Each structure stands twice: as C-alpha cells, then as structure tokens.
Amino acid sequence: MTPIPDDSVAALFSPQTCSTLLPPGRADEFFEALFGDAEEGAYDLALEYAGLRDGRLRFDILLRERPGHCLACNLTYGLPQVFSRHPVIDINGLVSKVGTIIGHRGTIGGWQLGSTNQRSRSLHAIPLLIEFQPA
C-alpha cells in the first residue's frame, strides 16, 4: 500500500475549507453561550491544517486576540478541556466533517486536543490531532 502524500491531504484542507469546518462566527456563538454576550469574548477562532504526522492529521485551533482585549490575560490554557466538551465548539462534529472530506482516501479514528501553545502575545493555538489510516 502506498502512503497518501501529505500534500494531497493538505490540498483537501485549504484555508477556505478550514473556515467551513470552524466558521468565523463560532467564537461569537461560544461567548454568547458562555457569557450571554459575544462582546465579552477576548479572541476569534480559526482552524488551520498543520500536517500529517505519525498517523495523525494535525490541525491547530487558532485563538486571535480581539482589538481592545488581552488574550494573554485570559485563561486559554484550560480551553482544551472546555473545547473538547462544549456543544457550540462541537469537536466531534468537526472531526466527522474531516472524515467526510477525507472520503475514500482513508478513515479517521479518535481525536484529542493538545495543550495550548502561545505563538505570540496575541495568538495562541490548540492542536487537534485526529487518528488517520490511509486507504
């Protein structure tokens, strides 16, 4: 069996596709559910494909500081546990959609969220790792 090349998987998860998997308005929905007001949110969310390694598809959930807010002052390190269970973020649904996009190219399995990484003062990332078995 020939392994699926990473660049062919990367082509499936363009920035536009990632934007449909985790729509820009999802952060507002999350903060509305959490605080009752989307304006209370300190960050916007985005999804970025980060590669295929060790039998896992890797995505990063990006947290970008909103103007007038302080991302570094927020408790972003506890977010992987919150995001893994929160129905608005819906990681299970996101992973299911990734499986649909992968289609006949392989199968996906379990997933996990890694620890929050601080890329800069105004940008944090939470790794999403999805088990992948090429067809």
The domain ranges of the chain are 6-134
* pLDDT for residue 129 is more than 70: yes
Provide φ and ψ at 53, rounded to 5°: -145, 135
Neighbours of 36 (CB within 10 A): 8
Which alpha helices (H) appear in 13-90, and where do they start and end? 15-21, 26-35, 79-85
At residue 4 the predicted structure's pLDDT band, cuts being 50, 70 and 90, is: low
At residue 2 the predicted structure's pLDDT band, cuts being 50, 70 and 90, is: very low
Cα–Cα distance for residue pair 115/54, rounded to 1 Å? 18
72-102 residue pLDDT tens: 766 677 889 999 999 999 999 999 999 999 9
Segment 63-73 shows an average pLDDT of: 85
Does pTM surpass 0.85? yes
Q: What is the pLDDT of residue 38?
A: 79
